[in-house]
Amino acid sequence: MNTKHWITAAIVAGIMTACGQKKTTSSDLVYLNYQKTEIQEESSPKNKQVFTIDLSEVEYTEEPQPLSDFVESIEYIKLSEEPLIHDAALVDMAIDRDDNFYISGPNYLFKYTGSGTFIKSLIRIGQGPNEVAMYIGAIFNMERDFILIDSYGRDYPKISLDGEQIGIVKRPSYPQRNVYAYWKDYEMYKIQHPEHNGKINHDGEFFFNIMDIRTDSTIYRMRNHNSNIEGKLGSRAYNESYPIYRGPLNDSVYWIKPLFIDTIYCTTNWTDVQPLYIIKQHNDAADYEWLIKVDAGIENVSKSELFNKDRLEHVWALESGILYSYIEEIRPDGEKIGYGYCPANGKGKYYSKLFKNDIDDYCPSLNFRFIMQNCSMVCKNGYIYIPVNAHKFFEEGAKPPFPDLTEDSNPVIVRLKLKKN
């Protein structure tokens, strides 16, 4: 059995066993908004298979990492020339069940066919019917055919995949409730946590909460066992909303990782959350306590602690291992930040700024920085989809995959078929 199928089988087997063993106790029942809501916190499934990702000796190199470590083949999809998309680094993307593309950027949300033909714009900025006053971005639920529009702390307009407004999702102002993501019938949201006596831990008691949208009931929350760690408010280094790295591992399994936690978890329905990958780093790497202190105020740590900490930041879980970004301590020649791949139960060796395309002759390298930083990578049916600016295909050593592509064309969607081992 190859590694990918082995991992998938182990996940499903462990989770199904856990489902049969998990029991809810009275301590799992809490009151939210005066409604009795059943909460599952950490499960403790038996017979689970957990894989190791060893980054304890990973090193930075200027030599790009080979894409073929985890990619089998590449396809390219050309988007219509109009309307104009200015920069692929600024877009978020989703794919529906019919393989249509949705591309979200500054003040626009466009829909395309699976072959890249423009269909329509899904939003209009304004104060009229079916218009939105502000547009920050989109929160997609492709399995249930709707999109939330994020607009600077206001309630979320809910639209269909054709752009028709079909409802409103309320966002309480205090404590502020921010929707992060959807997967099937489940909404991931986070409660903003206020300061306490001049100190703060923005994660609070729980990293995030899960609501079943069929019943409007919160069914799971991931406890932060280090919520007692706080930092004194000062000059902020991070923003108030830490990323929750997450995404579908496949059609039946979803993965999650809070920032600076060493575990990637997985689930099939949020009653069976269990570890999938445990990430090992060297002993001096930045940890959760460092993050909380630096986030609250950089004055909470010495300059040596601030600038001389290697740290794992962005991750993306695959069935065969993980993609990750790593920052080496700041040196006189500048900060060394790069990206790499580490297989399940493997040992990471190097990371670099780019992945080298050693599969075909079209685009010499791919930069995963913004899609991982923005949690905007799309994985579906064994493929990763990445928008790449057209001018990349005209750099030295490259060639355009389409005869009518120009440097000023809209971005090209790069479709990477993932290896199965």
pLDDT digits (tens, 9 = 90+) for 252-297: 999 999 988 999 999 999 999 999 999 999 988 988 998 888 888 8
pLDDT number for residue 68 = 97
Residues listed for the chain: 421
pTM score, two decimals?
0.86
Q: What stretches in the chain show pLDDT beneath 70?
A: 1-48, 153, 236-242, 329-335, 421
CA distance 238 to 38: 33
pLDDT at 331: 56
d(CA 84, CA 264): 37
The phi-psi region of residue 130 (left if phi > 0; otherwise alpha if psi is between -120 and 50; otherwise beta) is: left
286: tokens are: 């930045």
* Residues 6+ positions from 197 with CB-CB distance below 8 Å: none
Handedness of CA 194, 197, 201, 204 (dihedral sign): negative
pLDDT at res. 33? 31
Host H or E run for residue 372: helix 369-373
Alpha helices in 225-272 (DSSP H): none
- What pLDDT shows up at residue 330? 60
> What does the pLDDT read at residue 30?
34
The pLDDT of residue 29: 31
Which of 247-268 are b and which e, b meaning 16 or more Cβ less than 10 Å from the residue's Cβ? bbbbeebbbbbbbbbbebbbbb
Beta bridge partners of 179: 189
Torsion sign across C-alpha atoms 151, 240, 220, 96: positive
